[in-house]
Amino acid sequence: MEKVKFSTLATNYKVVFLDSYGVLKNHAGLIDGVSETLEFLRGQGIVTKVLTNDASRSRQQQVDLFKRLGLNGLTVNDIITSGTLARLFLEDKKITGKIGYLGTVNAANYILHIDRDSVPISEIDLEDCDDISAFVFLDDEGFDWNVDINKTINLLRMKNIPVVVANSDKLYPVSPRDVAVGTGGIAKLVENILNRKFIHFGKPDSQMFMFAYNQILKEGDFSKHEILMVGDTLTTDILGGNKFGLDTALVLTGNTIESSVDTLVAATGILPDYICRSIMD
């Protein structure tokens, strides 16, 4: 596919949705020029929102982290995370009792801070767990994989409770060379062992896009045709954006690299409307 210039493309839209990792930042920090690009978009009157599969931090912590990396001007309402959706689900379903989780205490505070107790899998007593009424896969850190994944499996064999996956990414990059298993990958292992399907949140699911769309409707009157979804991953950003009815642009600064983009598009059948080298192009 032909590449188009992002700066020219973006000005055809009133709203731009941006993935975070691989578009705005990478393992080394903010990608060069991102600050200027976002300022350019704002200068053109274009509304921007960040849509990220992440449940390790609150939206405020995301804003603070972007600031530390040198990207100012984002507010809590500009960042939509899969963790936010998981939290809303737990609120909507009015789950009472304790919520078990796999992940860090920080993530638990953010997702589960509502007026109820949360308890890490390491502290759950399998002999006395009647009060656990839901379970959440929050993060790939904060626990001992050897012990706590098995303990999670045994808890969920005993108790048929709602199970939520707050970030469905199976893997994520940690360096130019290496990846790591993500929350979604661990959840998939457990689903596979138990032969059950959990409730997953995050792109490509429509709910992330719906939440972001509802957010911008509070700020103005926009149709879907006026929104461009920008991401580095075909199976999450582009598939999800396409399905929600948005125009989509794939950038080559993250998971998808220039030499394999045509092969990947052909193999998956997921077609971005546009391909741009980066949002700085």
- Enumerate binding residues for a second copy (CB under 8 A): 88-89, 92-94, 126, 144-146, 149-150, 153-154, 156-158, 160-163, 170-171, 177-181, 185, 188-189, 192-199, 205-207, 210, 224-225, 239, 242-246, 263, 265-271
SS3 183: helix
Nearer to a second copy, 75 or 177 (CB): 177
- C-alpha separations of 135 from 68, 103, 112, 161 in Å: 32, 11, 11, 7
| Nearest distance from C-beta of residue 126 to a second copy, angstroms | 7
Give the separation between CA 227 and CA 214, rounded to whole angstroms: 13
| Nearest distance from C-beta of residue 224 to a second copy, angstroms | 6
Can you read off the two tokens belonging to residue 29? 């920090």
Nearer to a second copy, 57 or 188 (CB): 188
CA dihedral (17, 20, 23, 25) in degrees, to 10, reads: 150
| Nearest distance from C-beta of residue 266 to a second copy, angstroms | 6
| Nearest distance from C-beta of residue 106 to a second copy, angstroms | 17
Residues in the chain: 281
Nearer to a second copy, 38 or 138 (CB): 138
Give the separation between CA 169 and CA 175, rounded to whole angstroms: 17
Nearer to a second copy, 66 or 101 (CB): 101
Residues in contact with 31: Cβ distance below 8 Å, sequence separation at least 6, in sequence order: 23, 24, 25, 253, 278, 280
Nearer to a second copy, 66 or 198 (CB): 198
* Cβ pair 42, 48 in contact under 8 A: yes
| Nearest distance from C-beta of residue 206 to a second copy, angstroms | 5
